[in-house]
Amino acid sequence: MSLNSFRTSWKIPHSVFTINHASKVLMIGSCFSENIHKKLVLHKFNSAVNPYGILFNPNSIFQNINKVLQTDQTEENELIQHDQLWHSFDHHSSFSDPDKSICLKHISDSKEKLKSAITESKFLILTFGTAFIYKHIESNRFVANCHKIPQSEFQKKLLSISEITKEFDKTFRQVKEVNPSIKIILTLSPVRHWKDGVVENQKSKAILHLAISEICDRNENAEYFPSYEIVMDDLRDYRFYNPDLLHPNQMAIDYIWEKFSQTYFNQETLELNTKIEQIQKSVHHRPLHPKSIKNQKFLLDLKSKIQVMQMQYPQLSFDSEMKIVDQNFNSNHKS
């Protein structure tokens, strides 16, 4: 390695999986899934994310998929009440509500979204955050979210590689019954689960990594994207983290997105992404003199560019961008 080299970057092989703007994508997992989903949506991909809310451990992800493919119904006895809120152990706290019927409605809607997305998506991207899972002692069931219920009511368990791979095999068989051609991309979240402990977090990540490796070795329709290694080995610096020093910051997310794009998009898709980025930057540009004739002309030219893009790519929607441009033009023009 050259003395002038201060990075350990490497070239990620281009995947045989090709994602384009016609591909339906479903992302499930940790908050890292949310970050990449936002990038996909910004670039006009058909992407859905976490119908049940953020999920951190793989077996909760698998069990939720299994359940939704077996039944659409949600029973009232599945809910628990804590701090004057009704909760589902399968869902994120954002689904909780003081009104039981509203909570059930939110959960029912999420099940429909998840089942529809699994059935229709070409790609399922799973991001595992931790191998630790919690068992609710009274109900004798593993949970996806503890909802800030006292820790004394749960038993903490570290999943084994075989437990993860066995649950994946069961889930993937069911998924292929409703969507035989679906492709699965597995990623390991670079977010540190510091509350588990320094050594425990590393054990957890190691188990997840080995489980993912085994899954990919046994399934030709599954592969690994190294988001974890990009942060830990390529970026490897706290300037790429948020102030909590646990979550990658926007600069790191942008870099991972660039690597993801180079891995899964062909040249045509990359070029379209560039055009969309240019439109987005122009739409959200804040002029120094918004009422000037120059800015009015800029907005009219931008509107024309968006209309051309819409005609060239009728499968994509630029309604929100057009609305912003019209609002800015009308507001400044009237003033």
| Domains of the chain, residue spans | 24-265, 276-334
Hey, is 232 helix, strand or coil?
helix
Q: Report pLDDT for 6.
A: 65
- Convert the pLDDT of each residue in 187-202 to its tens digit: 999 999 988 999 999 9
Structure tokens at 156: 């903490």
Helices (H), the chain: 31-42, 58-70, 100-120, 161-178, 198-218, 227-229, 250-264, 267-283, 293-312, 319-334
- What is the arithmetic mean of pLDDT over 265-270? 97
Q: How confident is the model at residue 331 (pLDDT cuts 50, 70, 90)?
A: confident
Q: Which long-range contacts (CB under 8 A, 24 or more apart) does 286-292 make?
A: 290/328, 290/332, 291/332, 291/335
Percent of the chain with pLDDT over 90: 81
Q: Phi/psi of residue 260, each to 5°?
A: -60, -45
pLDDT at 250 over 80: yes
Q: Which amino acid is at 195?
A: K
Percent of the chain with pLDDT over 70: 96
Q: How confident is the model at residue 334 (pLDDT cuts 50, 70, 90)?
A: low
pLDDT at 264 over 90: yes
Query: Cα 102 vs. chain centroid, distance in angstroms?
Result: 25
Structure tokens at 173: 């068989």
Hey, is 19 helix, strand or coil?
coil
- Convert the pLDDT of each residue in 71-98 to its tens digit: 766 667 789 999 999 999 999 999 999 9
Give dist(CA 251, CA 249) in Å, integer: 6
CATH code matching the domain that covers 24-265, chosen among 3.40.50.1110, 3.40.50.2300, 3.40.50.1820, 2.60.40.10: 3.40.50.1110
**pTM for this one?**
0.91
Mean pLDDT of the chain: 92
Q: Report pLDDT for 56.
A: 94
Nearest CA to 64 out of 81, 89, 85, 47 is that of 89
Per-residue b or e along 140-172, where b marks 16 or more CB atoms closer than 10 Å to that residue's CB: eebbbbbbebeeeebeeeebebebbbebbeebb
